[in-house]
């Protein structure tokens, strides 16, 4: 194909030609190409000619995704171009880097952690048969940096035992980290599994059979109608809310929820999706009339694409969100205010917590939105099929017969049924929060 100035929208829509692999060269970064396989898989490659022997060569920079988008591909291509201009060979440079990484000794737990993160980011280590999502890795790295690095990071791997690690976890619990101690424990166990299975650095995982020291019960919190109404009002008009003294920070007692954040929180409740999915909503994921939102597998917990029907009310909310950043060039419905990426899911947690604290609603989280919507859907108020409810929640075991039948032999997406269910849930929700009037249950009796 002739070179063109590639755009994000073009790359999202690029397809193979006549069922054959096709390459789309970029004019802004010479040598960069988007290759689309016959099956639709997209990869970034860099073509160049070596200075010594004028040999044509090509290297793969990465797989096209939200994390490896057009901008990042251009940056990587320009780095490779500098190597070529300096007389080097990017392919040889990459081989040397891989060799150094393989031969670099892993002595301490911190050496192991850094090797683990590198292997997961490249997709070389896939403990659940698929590459870890970037958001999961970011969370793991944050937990490691906060709870493990300064203490466990200095330990020699041979010195890690069940007893020493149990004592370390007890120290975290004594310092007030309860469920976070469990998260640190789980991440350390994954890293030591990596040391055994992938690096062959240890003969066995010393904490493989160490049980979590903090018991955790599955959350069952469901918002009642009064709490939903107060929450909706608090998100809509937070100006009148005040934080209790024990919850105040640098901003004083005020609760702040920005215009875009208000919409994102309401959509999370209305569409029954995860916070990361709403925060990362991209324009390319919406169809032309914005009646369907197709979340790609790279952004879902299951790793499978998830089609979400968009009601007229939700569509109007998305339109309002887009108007908030009109004139700004961005790929996202909810862009970060200062960076070229989407809103942080953690910012959504922070905003909702302010509303919850100010209203005195206890033991509640953003994830409880999904449980509340799910419970009300299948209750006697709506009587929606658990099968359709599970599809909306994007759960692998949908409850519609044997799991293998649903996942392997059933190719339907049940979009009409999902749309009808979401419209019913939206109607009930808007009645509960006072946006729509509830139908009266009082009926006039006709005269005999």
Would you state the pLDDT for residue 404?
Answer: 43
DSSP collapsed to 3 states, 421-444: HHHHHHHHHHHHCCCCCCCCCCCC
Question: Which of 199, 176, 38 minimizes the C-alpha distance to 116?
Answer: 199
Distances (CA, A) of 106 to 56, 155, 192, 200, 348: 37, 11, 12, 10, 38
Would you state the pLDDT for residue 218?
Answer: 77
Q: Is the pLDDT of residue 147 over 90?
A: yes
At the second CATH level, the architecture of 8-100 is: 2-Layer Sandwich (3.30)
Distances (CA, A) of 11 to 1, 34, 182: 14, 8, 41
Is the CB of residue 426 less than 8 Å from the CB of residue 432? no
Q: pLDDT of 178-231, one tens digit each?
A: 888 999 999 999 999 999 888 888 888 999 989 998 887 777 899 999 999 999
Listed by start position, the domains of the chain span 8-100, 104-197, 225-432
Q: Lowest mean pLDDT: which of 91-105, 115-129, 306-320?
A: 91-105
Q: Report the C-alpha gap between 110 and 149 in whole angstroms.
A: 7
pTM above 0.85, yes or no: no
Is the CB of residue 284 less than 8 Å from the CB of residue 12? yes
Q: pLDDT of 219-229, one tens digit each?
A: 789 999 999 99
104-197 classified as CATH 1.10.150.130: yes
Q: Is the pLDDT of residue 407 over 70?
A: no
| CATH among 1.10.4080.10, 3.40.630.30, 1.10.10.410, 1.10.443.10 for 225-432 | 1.10.443.10
**Tokens representing residue 156 in the block:** 């020699």
**Tokens representing residue 189 in the block:** 């166990």
Q: Report the C-alpha gap between 251 and 196 in whole angstroms.
A: 48
Q: Report the C-alpha gap between 87 and 409 in whole angstroms.
A: 54
Q: pLDDT of 20-62, one tens digit each?
A: 899 999 999 999 999 999 888 899 999 998 877 778 889 998 8
Question: Which of 6, 29, 32, 33 minimizes the C-alpha distance to 21?
Answer: 33
Q: Is the pLDDT of residue 402 over 50?
A: no
Q: Dihedral of CA 260/266/268/270: which sign?
A: negative
Place of tokens 């490779």: 80
The residues pairing with 286 across neighbouring beta strands, listed in sequence order, are 293
| Residue 411 pLDDT class (50, 70, 90 cuts) | very low
Average pLDDT value for residue range 285-293: 91
CB within 8 Å of 277: residues ≥ 6 apart? 295, 299, 300, 306
């Amino acid at each position: 194909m002739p070179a063109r100035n590639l755009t994000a929208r073009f790359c999202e829509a690029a397809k193979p030609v006549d069922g054959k692999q096709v390459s789309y060269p970029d004019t802004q970064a010479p040598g960069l190409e988007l290759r689309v396989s016959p099956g639709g898989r997209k990869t970034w490659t860099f073509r160049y000619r070596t200075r010594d022997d004028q040999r044509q060569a090509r290297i793969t920079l990465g797989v096209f995704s939200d994390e490896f988008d057009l901008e990042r591909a251009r940056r990587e291509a320009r780095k490779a171009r500098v190597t070529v201009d300096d007389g080097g060979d990017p392919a040889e440079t990459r081989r040397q880097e891989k060799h150094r990484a393989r031969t670099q000794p892993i002595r301490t737990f911190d050496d192991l952690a850094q090797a683990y993160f590198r292997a997961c980011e490249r997709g070389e280590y896939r403990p659940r048969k698929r590459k870890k999502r970037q958001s999961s890795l970011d969370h793991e790295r944050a937990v490691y940096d906060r709870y493990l690095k300064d203490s466990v990071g200095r330990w020699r791997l041979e010195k890690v035992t069940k007893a020493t690690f149990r004592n370390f976890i007890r120290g975290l619990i004594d310092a007030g980290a309860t469920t976070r101690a469990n998260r640190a424990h789980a991440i350390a166990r994954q890293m030591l599994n990596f040391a055994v299975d992938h690096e062959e650095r240890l003969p066995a995982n010393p904490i493989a059979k160490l049980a979590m020291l903090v018991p955790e019960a599955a959350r069952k919190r469901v918002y009642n109608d009064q709490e939903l109404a107060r929450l909706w009002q608090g998100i809509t008009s937070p100006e009148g809310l005040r934080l209790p003294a024990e919850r105040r920070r640098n901003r004083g007692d005020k609760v702040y929820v920005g215009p875009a954040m208000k919409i994102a929180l309401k959509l999370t409740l209305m569409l029954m999706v995860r916070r990361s999915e709403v925060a990362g909503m991209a324009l390319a994921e919406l169809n032309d009339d914005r009646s369907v939102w197709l979340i790609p597998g790279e952004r879902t917990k299951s790793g499978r694409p998830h089609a979400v029907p968009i009601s007229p009310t939700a569509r109007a909310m998305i339109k309002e969100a887009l108007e908030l950043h009109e004139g700004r060039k961005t790929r996202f419905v909810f862009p970060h205010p200062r960076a070229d990426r989407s809103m942080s899911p953690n910012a959504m947690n922070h905003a909702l917590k302010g509303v919850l604290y100010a209203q005195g609603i206890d033991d509640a989280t953003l994830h409880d939105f999904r449980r509340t919507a799910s419970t009300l859907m299948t209750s006697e108020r709506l009587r929606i099929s658990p099968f359709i409810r599970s599809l909306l929640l994007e759960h692998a075991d949908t409850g519609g017969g044997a799991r293998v039948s649903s996942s392997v032999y059933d190719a339907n997406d049940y979009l009409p049924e999902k749309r009808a269910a979401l419209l019913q849930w939206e109607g009930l929700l808007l009645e509960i929060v006072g946006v729509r009037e509830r139908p009266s249950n009082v009926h006039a009796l006709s005269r005999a």
